[in-house]
Amino acid sequence: MRKFPIIKMRKLGAERRVLTFLVRSCGFIKLRAISAIVDTGSPFTFISQSDLRGLRIPKNLPMVRQINLLIPLKIYSVGECEIWLKDENSKYVPFKTNLHIAVPAIQKIMIPGGMPSIVGTDFLDRYNMAVGKKYLLELNE
Amino acid sequence: MKLLTQGEMRVFDQFDSDVRFFSRNYNKLKKKYRDMFIAIKNKRVVASAKTEKELLKEMKEKGLDPAVTVVEFVPSKEELILF
């Protein structure tokens, strides 16, 4: 069983389990490091607009759907991307995931610091992963 | 699949250790940078501003790449947001 260390950190008023990963060039996203909350309540893995920091989202990016997570979000698909995680032995491991971009559908967001990026169940289920206290666990079948 | 280059590994390691730095020093940072956006690089706060836009401007002036730099908001009051 491979283990990927997660970081416990304060975000949005609570201690969250955060995973860092690296996105290599994928669509309009060039090399980008992301810290995302692992959220088993989200069906999507997405990078929030605030984590794109200044990167313009292409107008022709296909919108998958609109969801209400914290606020109404428009979910755009970047496509299947290669993301890299680091395991407990400091080995870099590649994964493929359908990466999305979440853009608030309303003008005014009442979330201090903006919407976080999320690792959702699409990624966790695809690789049979579970969230532990200290690690993201890649379970054996 | 092409493996990560040494440069990409460095970027990842740096980012990961800076996120951990933010997590470990959260209470200290909260006293100094309340309600501010901060940028962390090499386990140091390298830029801070009241708005994200101002922070990005400062980062640009300092030659910091926002794609691989930790940017966090430090709230003075914590409001629990459930989702």
* Minimum mean pLDDT range among A5-19, A48-62, A118-132, B22-36: A48-62
> Which residues of chain B neighbour A35 with C-beta distances below 8 Å?
15, 19, 70
Q: Does B28 touch chain A (CB under 8 A)?
A: no
- Left if phi > 0, otherwise alpha if psi is -120 to 50, otherwise beta: which for A13? left
CB contact under 8 A, A30 and B37: no
Q: Across chain B, what does the average pLDDT equal?
A: 93
Which is more confidently placed, A120 or A114? A120
- Left if phi > 0, otherwise alpha if psi is -120 to 50, otherwise beta: which for A27? left
% pLDDT > 70, chain B: 99
* Confidence (pLDDT) at A68: 79
Give the residue extent of every domain in chain B. Answer: 6-74
CATH ID of A2-138, from 2.40.70.10, 3.20.20.70, 3.40.50.300, 3.30.460.10: 2.40.70.10
* Confidence (pLDDT) at B20: 97
Q: Render pLDDT for B6-19 as a digit per residue (tens, 0 to 9).
A: 999 999 999 999 99
Give the residue extent of every domain in chain A. Answer: 2-138
* Confidence (pLDDT) at B17: 97
CB contact under 8 A, B67 and A24: no
Q: Kindly report the number of other CB atoms within 10 A of residue A39's CB atom.
A: 21
CB contact under 8 A, A112 and B79: yes
Q: Measured at the alpha carbon of residue A84, what is the angle toward residues B9 and A79, in degrees to the nearest 5? A: 130
Q: Where are the alpha helices (DSSP H) in chain A?
A: 49-52, 121-126
Give pTM, 2 decimals. 0.92
Q: With bands split at pLDDT 50, 70 and 90, how would you rate the model's confidence at A9?
A: very high
CB contact under 8 A, A33 and B15: yes
* Minimum mean pLDDT range among A14-18, A63-67, A81-85, B14-18: A63-67
Point out the residue among A14, A31, A42 whose CB comes nearest to the CB of B68.
Answer: A31
